[in-house]
Amino acid sequence: MPSYTPPLRDMQFVMHELLHVVDDLTAIPKHADIDVDTINAVLEEGGKFAAEVAFPLNQSGDAEGCKLDPVTHEVTTPTGFKEAYKKYVEGGWAALACEPEYGGQGLPHILNQCFYEMLNSANQSWAMYPGLTHGAYAALHAHGTEAQKQTYLHKMTSGEWLGTMCLTEAHCGTDLGLMRSKAEPQADGTYKISGEKIFISAGENDMASNIIHLVLARLPDAPVGIKGVSLFIVPKFLVNQDGSVGARNGIYCGGLEHKMGIRGNATAQLVLDNAVGTLVGQPNKGMQAMFVMMNAARLGVGNQSLGQTEVAYQNALAYAKDRIQMRSLTGIKAKDKPADPIIVHPDVRKMLLTAKAYAEGGRALLCYSAMLLEKEHSHPDEKIRKDAGEMLAMLTPIVKAFITDNGHISTNACLQVFGGHGYIKEWGMEQYARDNRINMIYEGTNTIQSLDLLGRKILGNNGATLRKFGKLIGQLVAEEGVNEKMAEFITPIAILGDQMTKFTTEIGFKGFQNADEVGAAAVDYLRVTGHLVFGYLWARMAQVALREIAAGNADPFYLAKVQTARFYFAKLFPETATLMRTARAGSKVLMDTDAALA
Ligand SMILES: Cc1cc2nc3c(=O)[nH]c(=O)nc-3n(C[C@H](O)[C@H](O)[C@H](O)COP(=O)(O)OP(=O)(O)OC[C@H]3O[C@@H](n4cnc5c(N)ncnc54)[C@H](O)[C@@H]3O)c2cc1C
């Protein structure tokens, strides 16, 4: 049986000692009253909910899965899921970061994010039911009419209704321009929507009294391709004038996918049969509105893998201290035992530290991104809003792809720590590797994230945002360049920061002559950039920890931080050299391979 302890100490370190979020938040009028104690108290309670309510349902939900009644088209979620959701709603968790005008508590986004990290560690499948609703809320908040907001946002805030995102069809996943679902305008201003969606997470379930599907479809006169896609609200039950739940709408679950992981989440095939919908935003501008949800979801998916990495690490660490096999290469360590605990072996430590470094680096990046999101939406200074938005746009594909790839590496490393016991179900480790696997695929595969980063976010603005990030590194180098204790953390990022301009220009130049060069380099490029960002954050974390140690703080937390930073820079960061080399190997070795791939 796995276990889970909310990593509150590390969350507090990132929020209060690394990022000083209270200073930034109190500069935003709506958070003027927030303080450290409130933040810590909310997260402590959130951690209890995750560990005590959601976590105990993780393995049973995986084993039981969801069930579809083919007659009623209703889906039953695993035993206990519905009751846990009731507790979540009663606890006010759905409303945590929603706007007070719709009944929300208006707390900072970073709190919701840390709460969701814990839910993801506890039970990713369960967390996806309420989690998607936050993205749907954000899209409606940004692009809905006042009437739509009044009709839907109150109930989504309270948690009475859940939300989904319905993009994918059997023939169209990455390429949404191929979409076929149709929306026929009606005389009353609504639309009748027909088509079939597949792979819709939480697409049908028994947890809430209504499900608000955000559906992409085409109007009859829509231009071909992605520019002809519009966004519609299609509720499972129509909503009466007084806001109550009305007649069943024509959107049904036609089947549930049987899948590798996240088995407690209902991945639904949805049939739309003249379902009544209302348009969100402008006709044919559906992607613009949906991108609000997709960007939120991309950060959310990175957060899913952070959760998986953390819980896998905690369990692998406990196992490695307990499991005895062989003797240490440097002599007996546990004299009272017939063998030493496996944590004495260097490679076991490497696996553990890989997961720890990726979990703590991921937490720092996600919290940093959450603060950018808060500033982008709510800071009174327009320039700060704009700069934050640009930086977040660049970091979003890194959060999504780098953290989920790291989650894959980490959950597999932690499984490996258990040897054969990691491969069997009892210990729960194989579930973490399976559950994490989807995070690299949905919300735009990690390849698509890489193309977005290199093509749009970096080359698309001639590297301007990357240079701004480079300035942050430059500031840190200026602050700590002469501090010998920081050299092992500062030198690698200073060198990589310098190399990035030439590296990026080179790929951009080659890509200008042959677009396949961008496609061939993008995945390696994202990983290099991911390390640049992690490297910066790890150097700053080491800086904070070293200062505490120098000031006489004996809390072992700080020494642990320095040791993990040391490991990260010595063992993980150096892969950037190989990645730059493989990115530079170009497209010819991939594209001149027709004989090899015949
Ligand atoms: C469990 C689960 C839950 C999901 N939840 C949702 C949901 O809630 N809502 C929703 O709408 N969808 C959902 N999806 C769908 C998911 O977002 C898609 O599966 C994903 O976007 C990829 O689309 P696809 O599966 O059609 O793969 P394809 O688009 O067919 O891609 C196949 C491969 O080709 C690669 N590829 C495609 N185009 C390019 C390119 N231009 N350059 C390089 N490589 C390329 C891809 O990276 C991938 O490796 C879910 C899927 C699963 C499995």
Q: Which helix (H) or strand (E) holds 449?
A: helix 446-451
Give 254-287 pLDDT, tens digit per residue. Answer: 999 999 999 999 999 999 999 999 999 999 999 9
Helix (H, G, I), strand (E, B) or coil at 383: helix
% of the chain with per-residue pLDDT over 70: 100
Ligand 1 atom with the smallest distance to the CA of 201 is 8
Q: How confident is the model at residue 597 (pLDDT cuts 50, 70, 90)?
A: very high
DSSP string across 282-339: STT-HHHHHHHHHHHHHHHHHHHHHHHHHHHHHHHHHHHHH-B-S--TTS-S-TTSSS
Instruction: Compute the mean pLDDT over every residue in the chain, rounded to the nearest whole number.
Output: 97
Q: How far does the centroid of ligand 1 lie from the alpha carbon of residue 441, in Å?
A: 6
Give 528-570 pLDDT, tens digit per residue. Answer: 999 999 999 999 999 999 999 999 999 999 999 999 999 999 9
Could you tell which of 124, 168, 587 is best to mutate to test the pocket of ligand 1, judged by most ligand atoms within 8 Å of the CB?
168
Q: Which of 588, 531, 399 is nearest to 596 (CA)?
A: 588
- In whole angstroms, what is the distance from residue 391 CA to residue 529 CA? 13
For the cut 90, the answer to whether the pLDDT of residue 425 exceeds it is yes
Give 352-380 pLDDT, tens digit per residue. Answer: 999 999 999 999 999 999 999 999 999 99
Ligand 1 atom with the smallest distance to the CA of 203 is 8
Give 323-361 pLDDT, tens digit per residue. Answer: 999 999 999 999 999 999 999 999 999 999 999 999 999
User: Tell me, what's the pLDDT at 595?
Assistant: 98
Contacts of residue 70, Cβ cutoff 8 Å, sequence gap at least 6: none
**Nearest-CA residue for atom 52 of ligand 1:** 199
% of the chain with per-residue pLDDT over 90: 99
User: Tell me, what's the pLDDT at 160?
Assistant: 97
Q: Which residue has the tokens 């590390």?
A: 10
| Ligand 1 pocket by Cβ (under 6 Å) | 165-168, 173-174, 199-201, 259, 262, 267, 438, 441-445, 447-448, 519
Q: Do 182 and 194 touch, CB atoms closer than 8 A?
A: yes
For the cut 90, the answer to whether the pLDDT of residue 481 exceeds it is no
Which of the 8 DSSP states describes residue 222?
A: P
Q: How confident is the model at residue 148 (pLDDT cuts 50, 70, 90)?
A: very high
Give 456-466 pLDDT, tens digit per residue. Answer: 999 999 999 99
Give 566-589 pLDDT, tens digit per residue. Answer: 999 999 999 999 999 999 999 999
Q: Which residues are catalytic?
A: 443
Q: Which of 531, 510, 532, 530 is nearest to 521 (CA)?
A: 510
Q: How confident is the model at residue 79 (pLDDT cuts 50, 70, 90)?
A: very high
Q: Do 334 and 340 touch, CB atoms closer than 8 A?
A: yes
Q: How confident is the model at residue 102 (pLDDT cuts 50, 70, 90)?
A: very high
Which of the 8 DSSP states describes residue 1?
A: -
Two tokens at 365?
């990046």
User: Tell me, what's the pLDDT at 445?
Assistant: 98
Residue 263's alpha-carbon distances to 87, 128, 309, 410, 411, in angstroms, are: 21, 11, 18, 21, 17
DSSP string across 534-579: HHHHHHHHHHHHHHHHHTT---HHHHHHHHHHHHIIIIITTHHHHH
For the cut 90, the answer to whether the pLDDT of residue 74 exceeds it is yes
User: Tell me, what's the pLDDT at 293?
Assistant: 87
Q: How far does the centroid of ligand 1 lie from the alpha carbon of residue 445, in Å?
A: 6
For the cut 90, the answer to whether the pLDDT of residue 410 exceeds it is yes
Ligand 1 atom with the smallest distance to the CA of 446 is 47
Give 20-40 pLDDT, tens digit per residue. Answer: 999 999 999 999 999 999 999
- In whole angstroms, what is the distance from residue 405 CA to residue 407 CA? 5
**Nearest-CA residue for atom 23 of ligand 1:** 173
Give 110-140 pLDDT, tens digit per residue. Answer: 999 999 999 999 999 999 999 999 999 999 9
Dihedral (CA of 171, 172, 177, 181) sign: positive
